[in-house]
Structure 1
Amino acid sequence: MAPAHIAPLSCQGLGLDLAGNTVLDALDLTVHAGETLAIVGPNGSGKSSLLKLLAGLRKPTRGSVQLMGQPLAQVARRQIAQALALVEQQADTLDAIRVFDAVALGRTPWLSALAPFCANDRAIVEQALADVDALHLRGRLWGALSGGERQRVHIARALAQQPRLLLLDEPTNHLDIQHQLSLLHQVQALQVTTVVALHDLNQALTCHRVAVLDKGRLVALGKPLEVLTPQRLLDTFGVQAHYLTDPHDGARILRFRAP
């Protein structure tokens, strides 16, 4: 385990070019241990690409990523999978696989000939399913699930990895409002460092910090209310916004208008 002062995940000068276009450029970011960091930005700002670079699924054109203080490029894939889990927006399969078996794939980094799947692994899989309110789906075939159910199963598989770092790309896509709220609450309650790309800026307000991407560059980073200012929202997202106070609990929420 890395010393406490070493960031679990960071990048320096990170850049990515695809088909001659700059997708990300000159990006420096340090993720703090135990925090939930929201990544926000307009469509095409590079949120999904950043998560893939941080997870080691894509090689950067420039710069580097460090996992627990080590260059990610030098860390074995098995070690990365034991430390980090990524839930992408679109991850599908045509296999006739049952939900329990799909989530059990999350245990793969921890299994070997000397440590096969056992009762403890089964308990971890069932707990992961319970955490996303999907335990009742464990016997269902993947192909019979709705989009929202598949999204919850994807997240359960990531939780079954028991990672120290959880990267989520638009995790509330396809979910009804009840499961959106319960899922975000559950993720933030986990003893895990989380980086989550979000479209809903009111959801981002519940995170510890917010990073704002615009045209592939990091243009703001800090506490939500300090970063998601009306001027920043106008400059980056092209919308006028103001804050309201929820009379129920005093929370600040954003209201948007066309400019």
Structure 2
Amino acid sequence: MKTPTALQALIDDGVIDEVLRPLKSGKEAAVFVVRSGDDVRCAKVYKDMAQRSFQQRVQYQEGRKVRGSREARAIGKASKYGRKQQETAWKNTEVDALYQLREAGVRVPEPHGYFHGVLVMELVTDAEGFSAPRLGEVELSPEQAREFHAVLVRQVVLMLCCGLIHGDLSPYNVLVGPEGPVVIDFPQVVSAAGNNAARQMLLRDVNNLTAYLGRWAPELFETWYGEEMWALFEAGDLHTDSALTGKFTHDERRVDLDSVRDAINEARDEALIRQQGREAAALAD
């Protein structure tokens, strides 16, 4: 295939040797399968700001630290330089998060460096060595659904213990490798302590997983892992080995339980609609 312009610099510098094929193209970036020596990896090429469709960035960026005061002032003024710095910070956030989360034992692809605005990382594969499917593309048994839910809830806990929330976690941001789920796509990662919408985003992440996996294991719909872990986090009692039960006593004076359950159902419906849309697009191709 023709080498994309963004990856030619990596070939020129000897970071990679060859671009093998495109892997996927999304709202934030295009991902390619590349060869580096004897290793097959993937390279994530971020799209230009003008091509990006991701919305509500302000909400995600609240609480993020900017490396310098000049950059912070420029971003605040939305100048041309500020927009460029904001774009750079958006990309760096995913790189920094991957290294931090990998070190903490979270199931994420291993990063292999960030070069010329391109993130090179592990290619997650299935048992046969092909690119791993997304969770939203596989059929599960009830036992698998329960197992994957437990694994993913644990990943959310580990992330939260690092002070981070994925912010866009869904069945399409999880790959299924031979050893189970692997979480991907972190440019919108949220600061748990510095973002006013952190709790809301955490609950949405967990509800998205519960809504999808609950299709095979309906008893998951009666669990409250997001609420439980957030309460422990707020109290300073959440640890990487905290044993969660999925049970949570709501303060009915403050919480509309029907609304909470409706939110879970809406997340489930949204996951189903997204899956149907992808299936229709695949048939059209």
Specify which structure has the higher proportion of strand. 1
- When normalised by structure 1's length, the TM-score is 0.25
- When normalised by structure 2's length, the TM-score is 0.23
Task: Name the larger-Rg structure.
Answer: 2
Specify which structure has the higher proportion of helix. 2
Ranked by relative contact order (alpha carbons within 8 Å, sequence separation 6 or more), the top structure is 1
